[in-house]
Amino acid sequence: MTGICTGRVAAVTGAGRGLGRAHARALAAEGAAVVVNDLGVAADGAGGSAGPAQQVVEEIRAHGGRAVAHTGDITTDEGAASLVATALDAFGRLDALVNNAGFLRDRMLVNLAEDDWDAVMRVHLKGHFLPLKHAAAHWRAESKAGRTPDARVVNTSSGAGLLGSVGQANYSAAKAGILGLTLVAAAELARYGVQVNALAPAARTRMTERTFAAAMAPVEGAFDAMAPENVSPLVVWLASAESAGVTGRVFEAEGGRITVMEGWRPGPTADKGARWAPAEAGAAARELLAAAEPGRAAYGVN
């Protein structure tokens, strides 16, 4: 098997279904050995060998690829550490980490329970931080031992993290936090040979099918723009050595469209050179807003 990831080892979290499954299969198709992480169980309630992680492993192996399952909880320190250990034990190295695991607990802000806030933060934000931390510790050790890696991290944000989404305060905040984590990790880990980027995908998954059912439905005979497999080629490239020099960036991917997001950048500015009075500050702010590009509305705003 030859491809842009030949000889590389990638770990993908939340890879039993949806986007994660598509990423794992695409990485394997390009030559990577893949650690398929998923905490879930099969549709019949069974776990173990019948679970979704092992099912994806079997799909990859059936096409001549190499893969192992990891069913640990990556929102715990032990589970995240074992993800990295699984890659090292099975394949002797780790070259790429794709943080993808997530789920939803949607509520309007005034009805959002603290437990639902904490659960989404745990799975999305903590579930990115801990695998990244343990992978980074391994790569730092490799670098200090004189074996500087050519490592990659792909984090999964969302349009909700970029713009906000009505009814998804917890999810939007977690996904925005992932963007901040990406920027810091890219800056801190560059010295160890690690590149860190983020992706805001739009695709049909178990999460989006419920929330945006009409928009996500395929149209018979037309290009299925919402198929999760459309997002995976960019993930594969970012995980490969071919993406050398690309770090600290955020991409949107939907259907056949790829966009580099430019994020928060200074716009119109006023400097009095002294302290503003409140009324003066307000007048200046009005003038600056009139000269600035208009903001984009959050998802779900009519």
Q: Which residues are catalytic?
A: 158, 171, 175
**Chain centre distance of CA 212:** 19
- Residues ≥6 apart with Cβ < 8 Å to 25: 56, 59, 60, 63, 232
Helix (H), strand (E) counts: the chain = 11, 8
Q: Dihedral angle at the C-alpha atoms of 111, 74, 160, 255, nearest 10 degrees?
A: -140
Say if CB 167 and CB 300 are below 8 A apart.
yes
CA distance 264 to 111: 30
Q: Is 175 helix (H, G, I), strand (E, B) or coil?
A: helix
Tokens 């745990």 belong to: 122
**Which residue type, as a one-letter code, is found at position 87?**
A
Q: How far apart are CA 24 and CA 91, in angstroms?
A: 15
Sequence-ordered list of residues with C-beta below 8 angstroms from that of 138, at least 6 positions apart, any chain: 84, 88, 94
Q: In the numeric block, which tokens belong to residue 65? A: 């690829």
